[in-house]
Amino acid sequence: MYDDNPTLVGIKKEIIEEIQGQAFGDQGIETVPGTRMFYIESYGCQMNFSDSEIVASILSGYGYGATRNLEMADLVLINTCSIREKAEETVRKRLGQFNLLKNEKPHLLIGVLGCMAERLKTKFLEEEKLVDLVVGPDAYRDLPGLIATAEDGEKGINVFLSREETYADISPMRLDSNGVTGFISIMRGCDNMCSFCVVPFTRGRERSRDAFSIIAEANEMFERGYREVTLLGQNVDSYKWEKPDSGDVVNFAQLLVMVAKINPALRVRFSTSHPKDITDEVLYAMARHENICKYIHLPVQSGNSRILEMMNRTYDREWYMERIESIRRIIPDCAISSDIITGFCTETEEEHLDTLLMMEFVQYSMAYMFAYSERPGTLAARKYADDIDEEIKKRRLNEIIRLQNHLSLEHNKADIGKIFKVLIEGDSKRSADEWKGRNTQNKMVVFPKLSLELKPGDYVMVKVNKATSATLLGEIAQ
């Protein structure tokens, strides 16, 4: 992900996740001959990847081992995303490939998990007959029973959305991990009814996880050698957990500090924030603790107030800009990234220009950028016509990408000559003679290994000598 290819900035991660997915396997599970094996692929947001680790833990307790080799699997699972149409097309194609394998292995079970499972259960089970299991994001505990049902020749299905399930008592199996950075889910679901988004319908209502279980999981990860955790939620800023003994409420700023205090050597990140909910209390917590990373992903979606109202984002252009100014005032060196949707229903050229002007105002370090794709069942699909021509969407998206490439490059060039504390994650993809790691601003830094006795998980001071739009290139500071 370190190419200086402008088409890859911001959107490359999404393309990799949607087109290739991620297969988990082998690490962390000791298997014996005769063990049933599962193979799992994940698509979409980081929450899906985190959920796959929960699924792996549940299946391990049920006697399954993990494999990277699809042909060895007795159970094949695909953890899905419904955010964009392309992801759904990819999943259907992948299920067709899995079914070809089933012709050779009749006992093979195929299952769909996650958001798409909840939304398209009838199509998968009845119309297309592609799967044996359909399991929604709140029903993973039922997997053993659903597998047994499928083994008896019936379809296993549970897409019930819970108001309580957080999987707080399940220790995720850190499969396919670098052993340095990991993710902790702190809440599930979403109460923000953005008109373009299907998540509230596929993941249910918002509920926060027990703060003490989060701290225990972060502690365990640190003891196992992890040096960075990212706290995950659809809207982490609305985290709120009430202590059962006292009734005291733990909010997100307090949770951040609790995790940061585990050890100064444990970095803390979080994703995703909502502009209407991120408070100065959170910003001051970040400013006071060196190990809370100076990076905020704050999706704007559009820079125009009328479009934001149609999107039901519950803030306007001025509110967002005020939040940016507060970040700059309280954490001057904070990097800010964003999600941007162009070509939303009725968007005019002037409103598109407002988004470009917002990008220039904020100076995003990077962004995930998309043309609007209508999702069935959303408020926008019911209320508004998807009336922007695809060629216009494509042209506007290219303008946004081109501007963000420039902003990313300028943002990174401003770091030339600076020295950053970098957490080593592993070998650079380009060369085994180089390390890669991230600084506090979530920027990837690549530098020669030299002869120092360094290893993944170590911190090192790196001076930046060069910059591309995606990567900082440097050398270990003397």
Scan for tokens 């592609």, then name that residue.
Answer: 130
CA neighbor of 133 nearest in space, from 120, 119, 146: 146
Q: Could you tell me what percent of the chain has a pLDDT over 90?
A: 69
- List, for residues 150-160, the tens digit of each pLDDT value: 999 898 999 88
Most confident of 7-11, 359-363, 449-453: 359-363
Q: Please report which confidence band the pLDDT of residue 18 belongs to, taking 50, 70 and 90 as the band edges.
A: very low
Give residue 371's pLDDT.
96
- List, for residues 166-206, the tens digit of each pLDDT value: 898 888 887 767 899 999 999 999 999 999 998 888 888 99
Domains of the chain by range and CATH? 6-158 (3.40.50.12160), 181-411 (3.80.30.20), 419-476 (2.40.50.110)
Distance CA 429, CA 327 (A): 33
The DSSP output letter for 83 is S
Range scoring the smallest mean pLDDT among 49-58, 81-90, 235-244, 366-375: 81-90
Q: Is residue 284 within 8 Å of 325, Cβ to Cβ?
A: no
CA 290, 291, 295 angle in degrees (round to 5)? 90
Burial class of residue 344 (count of CB atoms within 10 Å of its CB; 0-12, 13-18, 19+)? buried
Q: Please report which confidence band the pLDDT of residue 438 belongs to, taking 50, 70 and 90 as the band edges.
A: very high
Distance from CA of residue 229 to its chain's centroid? Answer: 13
The mean pLDDT of 250-255, rounded to a whole number, is: 98
Residue 16 structure tokens:
């990799």
